[in-house]
Structure 1
């Protein structure tokens, strides 16, 4: 991944991840862009501000393939390492599937993020018009799963006690 980024081999408007040994390169959909922008703006309106929320920034997972979640909220003490952060510094991750029932977001990311202790994982699904909020990570998944339909507020409480409320009524849908 570092080599691809260093050589500028990623076309503008595309997201590239190496996941389970596969290079996944997809263009960002309008639904993904708007959803991430809405979520980011909501975080900016809180005391968390702009310095700890990022989109498509490399997160290192020691001993495994790295990832670039659609949106992450980092711990206050998170330390930048080049253009990446360590997964232990991620308080929350949000993913927007690019296709219905995306195995990457619904299966592989659930297991990986939970295994590495990402306390809060959200899947904002434009196909299902639904946010899936997962908390209480354990070795293979999350103990608590809550579904929030688009149009209802998505309320996040980070492990630091910080709170974010995201208005999902503006999240775009896709058939």
Structure 2
């Protein structure tokens, strides 16, 4: 996947990930893009530098498939490696499912991000209009899971002491039928 990204071989508007040995290529919906944009704006408004917040950038997971989360927040001293970062530098990840009850976001990513100690994993689901915020990572996932309806504030404090506040009132919704 790294080679594809470096050669620019990924079609515009698509997100490509290798997951469990399969190449997953999905176009990003407008709802995904708008939600990620709203979250990124809120994270930067919380005082986190632009250089530490990005979307669809490759994150390396030693011994496992790499990932390109919808939005990633990295630590102050995160070291860029060409066009990627190590999962060890990741403080928080946000994903926006591309389909209802997306197994990748709700099962496999929960296990992977928890196992690698990513402190916060947030799923902003336009189908259920709910934000799921996970914390207290452990070997099989997360010890704490909080569901917050769209329209309410999501707040968490990173390991750096920085407080992130995300208003969800502008998050777009999407019909589970694909509309």
TM-score tier (shorter) = over 0.9
Q: Deviations over 1:102-160 (max 9, x none)?
A: 00000000000000000000000000000000000000010000000000011121122
Distance 1:140 1:37 in 2: 30
Distance 1:144 1:121 in 2: 10
Q: TM-score, normalised by structure 1?
A: 0.98
Structure-1 residue corresponding to 2:152: 152
Cα distance between partner residues in 1 of 2:139 and 2:83: 28
2: CA distance, partners of 1:119 / 1:59: 15
Output aligned runs, 1:131-170, within 5 Å.
Answer: 131-170=131-170
Match of 1:111 in 2: 111
Count residues with an aligned counterpart.
175
User: What's the RMSD between the two structures over aligned residues?
Assistant: 0.7
Alignment TM-score, normalising by the size of structure 2: 0.96
Secondary structure of the residue that 1:145 maps to in structure 2? strand
Where structure 2 has 5 or more consecutive residues not aligned to the other structure, the ranges are none
Q: SS of 1:169's equivalent?
A: coil
Question: Matches of 1:159 and 1:44 in 2, distance apart?
Answer: 16
Could you tell me how far apart the structure 2 residues matched to 1:142 and 1:170 are? 27
